[in-house]
Amino acid sequence: MNLSDSKKKLALAGVICGLVAACLAYFGNPANMAFCIACFIRDTAGALGMHQAEVVQYARPEIIGLVLGAFIISVMTKEYRSTAGSSPMIRFVLGLIIMTGSLVFLGCPLRMVIRMSAGDLNAWVALIGFVLGVGSGVVALKKGFSLGRAHVTNKAGGTVLPLLMLGILVLSIGTTLLKASEAGPGSMHAPLIASLIGGLVFGAFAQKSRMCFAGSIRDIIPMKNFDLFSVIGGLFVVMLIFNIATGRFVFGFGTPGIIAHSEHLWNILGMYAVGFAAVLAGGCPLRQLILAGQGSSDSAVTVIGMLVGAALCHNLGLAASGTAANAETGEIVAGAVPFNGKVACVICIVACFVIAFTNKRKEAK
């Protein structure tokens, strides 16, 4: 059965991915983080010792599963294609930007939608920035922005990231080398096998449906095409029902304990950078993982950029903090974006503009 030939079936793919996220949240992933690409790459960077923020270190099997799921399904359906050569270092920088923007907002576009479904109004504010960012990317595309074409390479090239992910999985199961948080978000996780299976299923469906958060809005702006949006819609509805049914739906700003902050300007600017960079890179963080799984070394470089970006964000104090209640006094401490994070976010946006308007398409000879 072709799962991707109508909007209804595409929405079904979104529903299945939503169910995966809901199950993982139920089995122990942090509240309304359920399935966040940026957070989970950040946790994985921590597990590898790339940063020392003790509360966010855990080799998330979801990330490994996503890449391997996309790899397996693309090999099975003959969609695996090893490609490379489309401005890799610019893609690396775009990966850094995507991660910095995400950690200023506290979540990738996937988590933004999950947070929206949990009633977090901060995420709805961030959506404004994300849409504007994608819009800026579309303007750049219309003006002829291009990172150049990728070429087919040696088949083995595209297997490197999936193999590295497999390596991380082996290390996390068979050794005690990797770091794992004992407290904080990094310590909250579903059982390894559930996370891994969830990642594999999510990855396979995301690959087949071409699910992309930036792409869904990119397709609406110039083409009024709602195919990709229907996938996201399906996911949103499932998470909304799950959150309401389990009493996790809390409507408002500044709700403690959900790893979010209410600095509206920075929620908007953080997601603006993510949306802009994602369109320039050809896909949101989730899509980068999926494309890397199906053989794109260019997307794999973007993923490495995100991994390094996550480490930098914590090593240089760029990541925002979430609004939380003090465990002893019960006093609510507002989450905030540190000064360094604000500067980094502005630099990221400037970098997006520079990249967008200095890389032009060349006419074929």
- Label each residue of the chain as H, E or C: CCCCCCHHHHHHHHHHHHHHHHHHHHCCCCCCCCCCHHHHHHHHHHHCCCCCCCCCCCCCHHHHHHHHHHHHHHHHCCCCCCEECCCHHHHHHHHHHHHHHHHHHCCCHHHHHHHHHCCEHHHHHHHHHHHHHHHHHHHHHHCCECCCCCEECCHHHHHHHHHHHHHHHHHHHHCCCCCCCCCCHHHCCCCHHHHHHHHHHHHHHHHHHCCCHHHHHHHHHHHCCCHHHHHHHHHHHHHHHHHHHCCCCCCECCCCCCCCCCCHHHHHHHHHHHHHHHHHHCCCHHHHHHHHHCCEHHHHHHHHHHHHHHHHHHHCCCCCCCCEECCCCCCEECCCCCHHHHHHHHHHHHHHHHHHHHCECCCCC
Strand 83-84 versus strand 151-152 pairing type:
antiparallel
Closest distance to other proteins from the beta carbon of 220 (Å):
11
209 binds other proteins (CB under 8 A): yes
Q: Binding marks (x or -) toward other proteins, 1..20, rule CB under 8 A?
A: -x-xx---------------
210 binds other proteins (CB under 8 A): yes
Tokens of 239: 């998470």
- CB-wise, 21 or 284, nearer to other proteins? 284
Q: Binding marks (x or -) toward other proteins, 129..148, rule CB under 8 A?
A: ------------xx-xxxxx
- CB-wise, 139 or 316, nearer to other proteins? 139
Closest distance to other proteins from the beta carbon of 133 (Å):
16
Site for other proteins in 266-305 (CB under 8 A): 282-283
Which one among 28, 167, 173, 225 touches other proteins, defined by CB under 8 A?
Answer: 225
222 binds other proteins (CB under 8 A): yes
- Beta-bridged to residue 324, according to DSSP, are 333
Q: Binding marks (x or -) toward other proteins, 93..132, rule CB under 8 A?
A: ----------------------------------------
Which one among 52, 77, 326, 340 touches other proteins, defined by CB under 8 A?
Answer: 77
204 binds other proteins (CB under 8 A): no
Residue 94 burial class via C-beta count within 10 angstroms: exposed 0-12, middle 13-18, buried 19 and up = buried
- CB-wise, 74 or 181, nearer to other proteins? 74
- Which part of the chain contacts other proteins (CB under 8 A), choosing from 99-107, 119-127, 208-216, 320-328? 208-216
155 binds other proteins (CB under 8 A): no
- CB-wise, 31 or 139, nearer to other proteins? 139
Closest distance to other proteins from the beta carbon of 117 (Å):
24
363 binds other proteins (CB under 8 A): yes
76 binds other proteins (CB under 8 A): no
The residues of the shown chain that bind other proteins, judged by CB under 8 A, are: 2, 4-5, 74, 77-79, 81, 86, 141-142, 144-150, 208-210, 212, 215, 218-219, 222-223, 225, 227-228, 282-283, 361, 363-365
